[in-house]
Amino acid sequence: MKTKRVFGLIVLLAGLFLWQPLPMEAQTPPHPLAQPRSQSPYGMDIFGPSWQWTFPREEAYPRLNGSIRVDQLDEIIRKSWGAGVRSARIAAWWCFLEPERDRYVWTDLDYAFQIASNYGIIPVPEIFFTPDWAAIGGLTGKNCIHSTVKNYPPINMEDWSDFLREMIRRYGAYGKNQVHDWEIWNEPDLWEFLYVPHDPANANVTTYAELVKRARVEIDRYDIGGRLLLGGLSDIYGPDFLRRLMALRGPLDIRQDVDIVTFHAFSNHDDKITRLKAPIDGMGYELWITELNTWGWPETVAQATFAALWDKVRRYGITRSFWFKSWTTDWGPGIFSNRDPLWVPGPFNPSPLYETFRQQAFPHRLPSAPVPEWPPAHSLQSPEARLIWHRPLENGTFPIVGYKVQLENTFYRGELYYHTPEVDAWVPATHLHFLPFQIHNRRIVPTAKAPAADDSLAPLTFVSPVPEAPVAADTAVVSDTSARTAAEPAAAAVVPPLDRSSYQLPASLPPGVYYWRVAAVDNQGNVGPYSAPRQILLVPGEHRLFLPMLVTSN
């Protein structure tokens, strides 16, 4: 009896420790058995900081006319996925997204985040540049591209909070559940990105600290488990800016608000990384390089030289790096041929660096596409139809832990890109297991005991109930942020996957023609190729078979 009371007390205390009140506006939190996020350190600025006004659109000139080319978005993201890119830094200009107070324009980000998520690429927005109407400098009458005050901070910080609240509610855990890493500003140590007027010394450290504090509030409210990234610091004034920022105390002390410190490096990597790290040595922050390249490298850079740079970065404790940019420029080689200064519609031709990057980032095999079994193609089904598929005929390098199921009814230029899916669900592939939790950097991170001899901890292998009652969630959770590469995968709990899996469509789907597809996901978060789209027709109620009837009259 005493043992039971002690056990009950422990459970109660654990519950009180882990419980956090949810905002009243929040919906039901995402299911904990969610799609694993890639732990690969190989990221990329696929689009670059000005992509929203340089990327091809239906009407190419001027650049903001017409809707963005969805086919071009899919092509560059798909080819980046093929090269092993597993996270994408995507510029999110506040002045583009809220050109007028309370008028939001999300379409470009909606498509970019969704298509990246389709391929298992983690979107990481860098959020910066103030709209004219909110800037300290006042209205200039110019658009976001030509504004002379977009690098000014907002005159009223509540405008910044309001914008972040809308963005995080849209893409965080209680919205589309696509973004959980939020980079606050870009190079705030440089005046061209953050400038406080009438301040000759450009002492914008306190201003930036307030931007960070307010972002932390909104992330904690609307993206449980979301991580705040310090805006990537330049390799010019970054070390001094970071030292002054971390020295702030009182209401502007941000040391407990930051999860990941990010910076940039383009030359003299040893010296610059050492100086950028110095102000935070011993503070336990995870470190990312959100812009990495090397001035002066030719397009035909040798694989050995490229690999040596990544090895050097890892030795400094950098857990994720984003190659800048995806295309070759004066900044250094990219995996696609030169497209500056403005992108042009057309194929994204791989550069000589493409295969080098692929061999370094993902020299492994993905599983083949799952095999759809039911319902038959072109069949009539009720809105609550069950989709059934067989596991892939060919396994990849890593075990399959689940499936990504998508249902779409929107075409773009006669093709399906699943950029606005009606269903985007995660279906775990194996039986349910309960595993211990590990506390990591103020966040609760599930882990699994590995079967390896050293008894080390490994990222959680997400598992599911039997297929007769599958658990589906359109979500991803923040998993352990180790420095392992794809070449050194963490050991995973060995649980035999089921040969057949299923997903029941939600009853809320309106009748109509839909196309569904499914892809396998391995325990490293890699999404394999999708099955060919299969058409079904959803009709109200139970589907019925109607036979022709001959009617005669006298």
Q: Is residue 503 part of a domain?
A: yes
Give the pLDDT confidence of 139-190 residue by residue, as tens digits.
Answer: 888 889 889 999 999 999 999 999 999 999 999 999 999 999 999 999 999 9
Are residues 401 and 266 located together in one domain of the fold?
no
User: Can you give the pLDDT at residue 537?
Assistant: 96
Residue 30 lies in a domain: no
The strand pairing partners of 468, in sequence order, are none
505 occurs within a structural domain: yes
19-27 contacts at long range (C-beta below 8 A, 24 or more positions apart) = 20/224, 23/221, 23/222, 25/169, 25/174, 26/174, 26/221, 26/222, 27/174
Q: Could you tell me if 127 and 248 lie in one domain?
A: yes
State the pLDDT at residue 297. 80
Give domain status of residue 551, yes or no.
no
pLDDT for 273: 95
Q: What is the pLDDT of residue 314?
A: 95
| Whether residue 429 sits in one domain with residue 481 | yes
Q: What's the domain count of the chain?
A: 2
Measured CA to CA in angstroms, residue 315 lies from 255, 311, 484, 537 at distances of 24, 6, 12, 55
pLDDT at 425: 96
Q: Is residue 16 part of a domain?
A: no
Residue 153 shares a structural domain with residue 74: yes
Domain range for 441 is 371-538
The b-or-e profile of 489-510 (16+ CB within 10 A means b, else e) is bbbbbebebbeebbbbbeeebe
- Output the domain CATH number for residue 357: 3.20.20.80
Bridge partners, 381 (sequence order):
538
Asked whether residue 337 falls in the same domain as residue 413, the answer is: no
Predicted pLDDT at 346 = 76
pLDDT at 340: 63
Same domain, 215 and 333: yes
- Sites in the chain below the pLDDT cut of 50: 1-32, 432-495, 543-554
Query: Residue 330: its pLDDT value, please?
Result: 82
Q: Give the total residue count for the chain.
A: 554
- Please list, residue by residue across 426-446, b when 16 or more beta carbons sit within 10 angstroms of its beta carbon and e when fewer do: bbbbbeeeeeeeeebeeeebb
